[in-house]
Amino acid sequence: MTYNKAYFQELIIEQIAGAISDEDSLLLNEAIQNDPRVKQLWDEMQQTLNSNKAQTFFNSIDENKAWDKIEPEIKTSRPTMSRRGEVIKWMSMAALLCIAFTAGYYWRKTPLNETAATKQDVKAPTIELQMANGQHIDLSDTSKRVINMPFAHLQKGVNGLSYQVDNNKKEEWSTLVIPSKLNYKIVLSDGTQVWLNSVSSLRFPFSFLGKTREVYLTGEAFFKVAKNAAHPFIVHTGQTDVKVLGTEFNVNTYKANETVTSLVEGSVSTSGQDKQKILLEPGYQAVYTSGSGFRAQPFDPAIELAWMNDIYYFHNTKLHDISDVLLRWFDVKVVFDDSGTADETFSGAIQKNKPVDVFIQNIRASAGVTAVLKEGVLHIR
């Protein structure tokens, strides 16, 4: 799951205030249980709320004045008079938590020599939806959860996008672009779910109007295709076309001369540039290599799909290949000061939710190499 601190702060405030939806409450509780970063955020905000400073803040609030200020703004949007106390309580908590928690967290995490200008220069990676008309929509911006467009209504969640399409006879193609460090999920108009790994893109139509449902992938994605025997689903990559009716599978195109399709459930037919075709069974993957065609081999879903849980496993893998993962997941470029080191093999795992320093320490100890991270570049020799 993608960790967006600001978004989880909003959900925690709503949860504490009792103003959260059932869907968001379920999502938050799962995140608290499964993501230590969210759990830590929850514990810290709870501690702030129960502090003496918080109680003093609440006791000083004039509810009548607060209500007089907000009533004209929200009265027209929904019936709120019966929820007066709840709204004021939510505002109080939001004000306290946003000020007290943010200030405390800032002082703990910000180095003393870091200036405001330096922080502004560091731009967080953003997930973009690039429309055919040239418009770019920043999906990492959590200030708007709903975006209304002439032909569709977009609903942004903590780690994904869904949408409802108006009665439109145009396909309206767009491209979802995922940068380094992040991953993302989208639910297409037919109900197909797509999880995209870092440094990946998916070109898709907002509506599937033809006899087939077709999308274009770069990078890596896991597909859970909605069943529709009358309209096959086709994933186009630079080297292969994967055709299914309704199934679950993973497609990896990161390597320039290799495309790997791994079938979890159902059946898929994949064809290469040379018109060679292969039909897969669950538990097998088709590896297509330019000039060599297909080969089928069994795979372990727990390892192949671990990226969906922010883990990358590798066994006897060359450091050169592992360096590609570091660039995608941490935006860290690897330079081999000794070219021979690039071919040394290494076994282990990389966890996206842990600092890259953890991995660096592991390869120093296990691979016997010297690794130094400086200004976003990892030098290995």
The CATH number of residue 154's host domain is 2.60.120.1440
Residues 293 and 337 in one domain: no
39: helix, strand or coil: helix
Tell me if 198 sits within 8 A of 178, measured CB to CB: yes
Among residues 303, 332, 352, which one ends one of the domains?
303
Residues 116 and 132 in one domain: no
Residues 170 and 252 in one domain: yes
Residues 270 and 161 in one domain: yes
Predicted confidence at residue 25, as pLDDT, reads: 77
Nearest to 353 by CA among 107, 39, 24, 97: 39
Predicted confidence at residue 299, as pLDDT, reads: 96
Q: Which residues contact 172 (CB under 8 A, 6 or more apart)?
A: 131, 132, 151, 152, 205, 206, 207
Residues 239 and 338 in one domain: no
Residues 283 and 137 in one domain: yes
How would you label 46-69 residue by residue, b for 16+ Cβ within 10 Å and e otherwise?
eebbeeeebeebeeeeeeeebbee
pLDDT, tens digit, for every residue of 313-363? Answer: 998 999 999 999 999 999 999 999 988 889 988 888 999 988 898 888 888
Predicted confidence at residue 54, as pLDDT, reads: 57
State CA 320 to chain mean position distance.
Answer: 25
Predicted confidence at residue 249, as pLDDT, reads: 97
Residues 115 and 182 in one domain: no
Predicted confidence at residue 6, as pLDDT, reads: 67
H/E stretch holding 137 reads strand 136-138
Find the range with the poorest average confidence among 8-17, 197-206, 224-233: 8-17
- Give the other-Cβ count within 10 Å of 198's Cβ: 25
Among residues 282, 303, 324, which one ends one of the domains?
303
Q: What is the DSSP letter of 314?
A: E
Determine the Cα–Cα distance for residues 372 and 364; give it in Å rounded to an integer. Answer: 10
Q: Which two tokens stand for residue 99?
A: 């000020």
- Please state, rounded to an integer, the average pLDDT across all residues of the chain: 81
Q: What are the strands of the beta sheet with 173-178, ordered from one edge?
A: 136-138, 128-131, 173-178, 200-205, 213-218, 233-236, 240-244, 268-272, 277-280
Comparison of pLDDT for 368 and 320, the residue scoring more:
320
Nearest to 242 by CA among 193, 296, 280: 280
As for how many domains the chain has, the answer is: 3
Residues 187 and 149 in one domain: yes
Cα within 13 Å of Cα(357), Cβ side: 2
Residues 155 and 46 in one domain: no
Q: Which two tokens stand for residue 45?
A: 């905000």
Phi, psi for residue 318 in degrees, rounded to 5:
-65, 145
CATH of the domain at 364: 3.55.50.30
Nearest to 190 by CA among 159, 214, 172: 214
Among residues 264, 288, 303, which one ends one of the domains?
303
- Give the other-Cβ count within 10 Å of 97's Cβ: 22
Predicted confidence at residue 55, as pLDDT, reads: 55
Residue 87 in this model has a pLDDT that exceeds 90 = no
Residues 79 and 21 in one domain: yes
Determine the Cα–Cα distance for residues 61 and 264; give it in Å rounded to an integer. Answer: 56
Helices (H), the chain: 5-17, 22-34, 36-49, 52-59, 63-74, 84-96, 102-109, 116-121, 301-304, 319-330, 356-366
Tell me if 298 sits within 8 A of 283, measured CB to CB: yes
Residues 105 and 136 in one domain: no
Quick one: the chain helix, strand, coil %, rounded to 5? 35, 30, 35
What is the value of pTM for the model shown?
Answer: 0.69
Q: Residue 281: give the domain boundaries.
A: 128-303
Predicted confidence at residue 357, as pLDDT, reads: 87
First CA to last CA across the chain, in angstroms?
Answer: 34
pLDDT, tens digit, for every residue of 99-121? Answer: 434 434 443 343 434 434 344 44
Mean pLDDT value across residues 278-290: 95
Tell me if 184 sits within 8 A of 294, measured CB to CB: no
Determine the Cα–Cα distance for residues 53 and 208; give it in Å rounded to an integer. Answer: 55
Residues 44 and 180 in one domain: no
